Amino acid sequence: MDAIAPRTLLQTVALLTLSNLFMTFAWYGHLRTMQASAWWVAALVSWGIALLEYLIMVPANRLGHTGGLSVAQLKVIQECITLLVFVPFLVLFLGEKWKWDYLWAFFCILGAVFFVFRPDKG
């Protein structure tokens, strides 16, 4: 695996994090903010938010991939970011209770990071 420039990695992670914030709100924000709205209204609003997410996600993945990240690495990075964004959203925005299983799930994902980023042994 070729070395990945730290700046490229940082930019990719920052863009993926921003896109994940949008997608988390698109998928779950309506559960709190649009309870009185028809499902199709929530779906249309969510699609609008998701469009913004895609306008950030696609360039992030292209930047990371042209910068040397494999598709598997991009996906695992995205899954880590998903937990880092989703758990605070779940607890702080939706008001659900913290569970230690969230931390253990994150450690499992970190195991995946190890495996997709370790150097090839041959």
Residue 87 included in any domain: yes
Residue 31 included in any domain: yes
Residue 72 included in any domain: yes
pLDDT of residue 2: 66
pLDDT of residue 106: 85
Number of domains in the chain: 1
Within 13 Å and on the Cβ side, how many CA atoms surround 83?
18
CB 69 within 8 A of CB 12: yes
Residue 48 included in any domain: yes
| Domain boundaries, position 14 | 6-117
Residue 1 included in any domain: no
Q: Which residues of the chain have pLDDT under 50?
A: none
CA distance linking residue 118 with residue 23, whole number of Å: 29
